[in-house]
Amino acid sequence: MKRERQLKGRRGRWLRHILTAHGLVSYIFLYFPIVVLVVFSFNASRYASAWRGFTLEWYVSLLQDAAIGAALKNSLIVAGGSTVISTVFGTMVALAMERYDFSGKLAFDSLLYLPIIIPDIVMAVMLLIFFVLAHAQLGLVTIIISHVAFNISFVAVVVRARLAYFDLSLEEAAQDLYANEWQTFARVTLPLIMPGILGGALLAFTLSIDDFVITFFTSGPGSSTLPLRIYSMVKLGVTPEINALSSFMLIVSMLLVLLSFVLRKGGEGEIEIV
Amino acid sequence: MKPRSRRDTWRLLVLIAPSLFWLLIFFLVPLVMVLVISFGQRGTYGGIVWDFTLSNYARFFDPLYLRIFGRTAGIALATTVICLVGGYPMAYFIATRPPRWRNTLLLLLMIPFWTNFLIRTYAWLLILRDQGLVNMVWTGAVHNLFLHLATAYPAATLFSSLAGLTSVPLELFGTNGAIIVGLVYAWLPDMVLPCYAAIERLDFSLVEAAQDLYANRVKSFLRVVLPLTMPGLVAGSVLVFIPALGAYVTPDLLGGAKSIMIGNVIYSQFMSARDYPFGSAISFVLMAIMLIATLIYFRLGSD
């Protein structure tokens, strides 16, 4: 069936131009602040907002800042740890949810979706109360636990999207050829859903390294991550180092997101919308 | 499928056990704790007195908090409406591009969405604050332009008054408007994506049929396109309204003392006032609103 998407006639042409112009303006709106931030990070002026020439000074001073080094290390530990745990658990639960029916599945499914839709300030408060009442020492461990609590859900959603297109006859074929269950999983199932798993892992890593609110509530002394460091720098007053650090983080996470989408797309089908 | 054998049952259990454990201990238990504590009372030194009282919920009716809740709802609503008016045509634009363009445009929409929220909000601080980009242009280039015009045409008092107007920075930072701009920026993709999904599925031959039956453009849009894409529109509105209602970072960075939202109140109850029970009560109500909105979303989504 031919789907006619064009607006016809002279007035249609006007509408089309307005629509295009609106689309263009919307995309400029989305990228304008990012461009401003990156441009300012190369601005030689320390105090005035005016342009005083190009410099890499702020990036160099980032490299020499010990507190930022420590924050980067914490960020990598938290993101790395929570990604590994949530990717393993999330993939397992995705397999269970796509392959099996069991009583209480709907309730469990809802529980699995809740961390995605709950406002992050509420989740942050919940976890803070839990850790305080459990007399847990707030620090990297509590941050990782909290990040896993929301990342399992994101990984599960991404892997399930991949599993939904899985051709079960491929597994049957492997078993016809005398592969045992473990061999079938390791040689057939796992490689086929690997793009989904990697995409989910990258998403988890990105969400974890970018998270501010939940980390803010569940961190203790000495466990500042990069977003926490940026936040306290902003609160103390805007300095050009923040622009450099923010631009750097923004570019890195944009690359990660791009990679995550390429992996999840896996060469076929449309972009998955989580 | 149902687990067929005992081995299958075991496999199922092993697969879900870690996530189930994690979500029960670190999500469901904390959730119940918030509910229980919201009926307790603040101790003299900031601890929790276990009790059963509705006083925390009664405090919502204090005019101070009513005003904050009203403002929060207003800001969230304004954000949703602006996202709707801006996002729907944007979704329509994307959906009517050739397929190879569509994926690229969607990707371009998603990339900023998945990057650091704090940093994207901070970028608006650079633009909106008193010495920010907008005011740099306003008190710089625009001001100079009117100064020149005022000296060139001394008779026209309009130019000199405009020059006077542009000599002081615009008060953008710290206003409700600044928060709304930040929120629209943050959540616009949440509106565009479901609208896009609905418009993309739309069978455009129905529009032609309407036009064959002498419906004009406006009528065919209102009677055919809009009703058929309504689920996407509602879904998008819910997806924008919920996070806008629970916003904390945006009002904290872009708002001022006069534009406090619910998120800031929750924060201060936990971090400065140390009134966990009241903070819990607010959190719980926020979550209840979110759950109701989500139920509406799934109801409409399943149609």
| A2-6, A16-20, A73-77, A186-190, range with the lowest pLDDT | A2-6
A261/chain B closest Cα distance in angstroms? 8
B192 and B213 inside one domain: yes
Local structure of A131: helix, strand or coil:
helix
Q: Is residue B49 part of a domain?
A: no
Residues B179 and B116 in one domain: yes
- 253-272 in B: which are within 8 Å (CB) of A? 253, 263, 266-267, 270
B41-73 pLDDT, tens digit per residue, is 887 766 777 878 888 888 888 999 999 999 999
pLDDT averaged over every residue in chain B:
86
Distance from C-alpha of B238 to C-alpha of A235, rounded to nearest angstrom: 31
d(CA A22, CA B109): 14
Q: Could you give the CA distance from residue B135 to residue B142 in angstroms, rounded to a whole number?
A: 10
User: Each residue of B278-295: pLDDT tens digit?
Assistant: 999 999 999 888 888 888
Burial of B263-287, coded b for 16+ CB within 10 Å and e otherwise, reads bbbbbebbeeeebbbbbbbbbbbbb
d(CA B265, CA B65): 9
Whether B248 maps to a domain, the answer reads: yes
The pLDDT, as a whole number, for residue A62 is: 84
A273 and B119 within 8 Å at the Cβ level: the answer is no
Q: Where are the alpha helices (DSSP H) in A101-167?
A: 105-117, 120-133, 140-164
**What contacts 24+ positions apart, CB below 8 Å, involve B50-54?**
none
Residue-range definition of the domain harbouring residue B26: 1-33
B283 and B261 within one domain: yes
Percent of chain B with pLDDT over 90: 36
| Of the residues B148, B168, B188, the one at which a domain ends | B168
Does A210 contact B123 at a Cβ distance shorter than 8 Å? no
Domains and CATH numbers, chain A: 65-265 (1.10.3720.10)
- Which residues touch B153 (CB under 8 Å, ≥6 apart)? B159
User: What's the pLDDT band for A227 if we cut at 50, 70, 90?
Assistant: very high
Domain boundary among B119, B151, B168: B168
Residues B102 and B202 in one domain: yes
Verify whether the Cβ–Cβ distance A49 to B131 is below 8 Å.
yes
Q: Is B155 in the same domain as B194?
A: no
Q: Is residue B235 part of a domain?
A: yes
List B255's β-bridge partners, or say none.
B174
Taking CA atoms, what residue in A is nearest to B89? A19
Contacts of A6 in chain B (CB under 8 A): 96
Has residue B247 been placed in a domain?
Answer: yes
DSSP string, A21-35: HHHHHHHHHHHHHHH
Specify whether B120 is located in the same domain as B164: no
Residue B41 lies in a domain: no
Q: Which of A46, A110, A125 to mutate to test the interface with B (most CBs of B within 10 A)?
A: A125
Same domain flag for B200 and B286? yes
Residue B119 lies in a domain: yes
pLDDT of residue B235: 85
Q: Are residue B152 and residue B124 in the same domain, yes or no? A: no
Tell me: do B255 and B289 sit in the same domain: yes
User: What contacts B20, CB < 8 A, 6 or more positions away?
Assistant: A93, A108
Q: Does B47 reside within a domain?
A: no
Residue A47 banded pLDDT, cuts 50, 70, 90: low
Contacts of B157 (CB under 8 A, 6+ apart): none
Residues B157 and B179 reside in one and the same domain: no
Note whether B185 and B285 are same-domain residues.
yes
3-state secondary structure A34-86: HHHHHHHCCECCCCCCCCCCECCHHHHHHHHCHHHHHHHHHHHHHHHHHHHHH
CA distances from A193 to A90, B59, B254 (A): 13, 51, 42
For chain A, positions 194-253, list CB contacts with chain B under 8 A. 203, 206-207, 210, 212-213, 217, 227, 230-231, 234, 238, 242-243, 246, 249-250, 253
Interchain contact B110–A (C-beta under 8 A)? yes
pLDDT value of position A126: 94
Give the per-residue pLDDT at A101: 87
Owner of token pair 């919940």: A126
Q: Assess whether B292 and B182 both reside in one domain.
A: yes
- Mean pLDDT, range A64-72, rounded to an integer: 88
- Closest approach of chain A CAs to the CA of B149, in angstroms? 24
Residue A269 confidence (pLDDT): 42
Q: Residue B9: inside a domain, yes or no? A: yes
- Is B246 at the interface with chain A, CB within 8 A? yes
Q: In this structure, what CATH number is given to the domain that contains residue B120?
A: 1.10.3720.10
Lowest mean pLDDT among B70-74, B209-213, B237-241: B209-213
Domains in chain B: how many in total? 3
Residue of A98, A100, A238 to mutate, interface with B, max B Cβ within 10 Å: A100
pLDDT tier at A213, thresholds 50, 70, 90: very high
Question: Nearest CB to A108: which of B20, B90, B119?
Answer: B20
Q: Which of B27, B34, B207 sits opposite A125 (nearest CB)?
A: B34
